[in-house]
Amino acid sequence: MSPSSLDGVPTPDDYVSIYTPEAALDPASTCLVVVDMMYATGHPEYGLGALLASEGRLDEASYRFARIAGQVLPNTLRLLDWARRHEMRRVFLTYGSEVSDYSDLSPQMRALCEATRNRVGNPEHRLLEELDRRPEERVVNKITPSGFTSSELELILHTYGSRDLLFTGVSTNMCVESTLRDASDRGFGCVLVEDACGADSPEYHEAALVVLQRPSANGRGLTEHDPGGNRRRGNVHRPDARGRRSADDHRAQGAEHAGRPVGRDDGWPERAVCARRA
């Protein structure tokens, strides 16, 4: 069968997608993973933004910085607030060199980190201050796009007893996608919160949403959570799933297109891409 679409992004409706289980999120065994929300590439006055401004090219990154300020950051803050109030684990990922000459980075990472002054100890390496990282919240630095390849992230998550992961941050098609795929390979259930992620362009972001449906993420749609219960169940709504929302419902939900946070009052996301264990 040919793919259907949700808000313009194809969703699978074929012989593979029928095996996608429902998403089930329990705060006791779920961890919120916030990816690379740093000054280096997340703020127009530092790092990448400062570099482009000095070259007279800041307008080339206008989508990226507007997406971060208008959706990624506010929606991540809503999830952080909910997770903190309900004692759900949180981990912040960063990337950048841990030595003064950037010699610990591969060519894939080194040029960007050098150009944006992204190394431990520099202001660019800091998390955005709005995240207000708490003492009990772990920060894990990586020197590769995936958080699992070059850090102790997997050990930390197993120590926490985390089985399912919620992903927010940047960039959807790079470090978020790489970390999510590796998490899925390691047996974690994964939920990519679409309106709390961003990339350099809408095309990169939307392309990542499509390809993450298989093999790592199977199904794009709305996750609905019961604000009153201890266990949140999210149905991955494929085109043939019962309870699928109408086009009018999606249009009514269009706050995301106005740059306003989208989600329930208790902070759980409305829109997500879900990948579950095979």
Question: What is the per-residue pLDDT across 191-236, written as a single tens digit (0 to 9) for each?
Answer: 899 999 999 999 999 999 888 876 444 333 323 343 233 333 332 2
Please name the CATH architecture into which domain 4-275 falls: 3-Layer(aba) Sandwich (3.40)
Residue 176 near residue 169 (C-beta atoms within 8 A): yes
Structure tokens belonging to residue 85 = 């109030």
The C-alpha atoms of residue 69 and residue 74 are separated, in whole angstroms, by: 7
The confidence score (pLDDT) of residue 90 equals 98
Residue 118, Cβ neighbours under 10 Å: how many? Answer: 26
Instruction: Report the pLDDT averaged over residues 111-133.
Output: 98
Instruction: Report the pLDDT averaged over residues 155-173.
Output: 96
Instruction: Report the pLDDT averaged over residues 60-68.
Output: 98
Q: How confident is the model at residue 131 (pLDDT cuts 50, 70, 90)?
A: very high
68 Cβ contact list (under 8 Å, min separation 6): 37, 42, 43, 170, 198
The C-alpha atoms of residue 274 and residue 38 are separated, in whole angstroms, by: 25
The confidence score (pLDDT) of residue 232 equals 34
Whole-model pTM: value is 0.80
Residue 79 near residue 143 (C-beta atoms within 8 A): no
Instruction: Give the residue extent of every domain in the chain.
Output: 4-275
Q: How confident is the model at residue 111 (pLDDT cuts 50, 70, 90)?
A: very high
Structure tokens belonging to residue 138 = 């772990």
Q: ∠ at Cα 173 (195, 85), nearest 5°?
A: 40
